[in-house]
Amino acid sequence: MTGLILSRLAQIAVMTVILSLCAFLLIGLMPGDPIEMAIAGDPRLTSEDAARLRELHGLDQPLMSRYFAWAGEVLRGNFGHSRLFAQPVAQLLWPALLSSLELLALAIGIAITLGVGLGALAAARPRLAPFVQGVALVAQATPSFWLGILLIILFAVQLGWLPAGGADAGWRFLVLPVATLAFANLAAYARHSAAALRAALEEPHIRTARAKGASEARVLARHALPNAAVPLLTIAALDAGAMVSGALITETVFARPGMGKLIYDAVMGNDFNLALLALLLVAVVTMLATLAADLAQRWLDPRIA
């Protein structure tokens, strides 16, 4: 187990280095460095000033040595500043990450509850299975940003019940984004829990439980559901990347200040240090989440090698 965790952590570290290197080089190859932006912003800068600034900031160095200098600072915990927000990057990243995690946790909780509920319905009442399958198919095919816009139009513009976007301390700002994201993630849980529960209900211990007179609800909840938990964790592990992607687009639609909006704003504002660090943070958190789901799965089912 420890060996597995260590090798997976090493894999995550390698992926992070590769990702940062690729992103840094690609961004570095782009025409237009920060000094050229400064020149565009202040026409009085002479070419001597520009050359001096380039030297001062190390922008005259070759790309690889710039990468090593940047990576060294990041590893030492110095994330530098955001050009766009004129703030230390670390101060921007943490609140954004917390906001995204809040959104994700609520949405996944609701998606799992509703999805497993629908799956249980399909497994317990085979007549309703086609209905559940239909819901899952539609939920899977619905682009979440479109659903977000439709919800804004209905609840914010037409009915005026809820705010269209932004974020405040209030729960009212969370309702629409959470609903959007939960619906987007519902389908996988519904389909797989239905299949897993149907398989679990065939097992001999279920017959024993029924023979002992356990109610159908109790059989489903106490005897079949724990067996179906492992495949659900597999989905959670496999889908972590997709879920994070979904959270990011949802944030952009609802103008929620989180990691997604931060990355989008940073990319749009040519703030590449911020964009790069935010991307790396999201990637690392996603990979760690995948690892956590994998470990939980092994812990629940020791048969998985």
- Choose between 51 and 242: whose C-beta lies nearer to another protein: 242
Q: Residue 33's CB: how many other CB atoms inside 10 A? A: 16
Span 87-126, contacts to another protein by CB under 8 A: none
- The residue range among 50-58, 66-74, 88-96, 285-293 that interacts with another protein, by the rule CB under 8 A, is 285-293
Q: Does 242 bind another protein (CB under 8 A)?
A: yes
Tokens of 180: 């959007």
Q: Does 152 bind another protein (CB under 8 A)?
A: yes
Q: Does 259 bind another protein (CB under 8 A)?
A: yes
- The residue range among 36-44, 82-90, 132-140, 170-178 that interacts with another protein, by the rule CB under 8 A, is 132-140
Entry field: residues in the chain: 305
Q: Does 305 bind another protein (CB under 8 A)?
A: no
Least gap, CB of 54 to another protein (angstroms): 20
Residue 67 exposure: Cα atoms within 13 Å on the Cβ side = 17
Q: Residues near 264 by Cβ (< 8 Å), separated by ≥ 6?
A: 248, 252
Span 12-31, contacts to another protein by CB under 8 A: 14-15, 18-19, 23, 26-27, 29-31
CA distances from 177 to 160, 233, 236, 257, 292 (A): 16, 23, 20, 12, 25
Q: Residue 46's CB: how many other CB atoms inside 10 A? A: 9
Q: Does 194 bind another protein (CB under 8 A)?
A: no
How far apart (Å, rounded) are the C-alpha atoms in residues 252 and 237? 24
Which residue in the set 45, 53, 149, 296 belongs to the binding site for another protein (CB under 8 A)? 149
How far apart (Å, rounded) are the C-alpha atoms in residues 151 and 145? 10
Q: Does 278 bind another protein (CB under 8 A)?
A: yes
Q: Does 179 bind another protein (CB under 8 A)?
A: no
CA distances from 239 to 60, 180, 189, 251 (A): 42, 17, 11, 18
Question: Which positions touch another protein (CB under 8 A)?
Answer: 11, 14-15, 18-19, 23, 26-27, 29-31, 137-138, 140-143, 145-147, 149-150, 152-153, 156-158, 164, 238, 240-242, 244-246, 248-249, 252-253, 259-260, 263-264, 267-268, 275-276, 278-279, 282-283, 286-287, 290
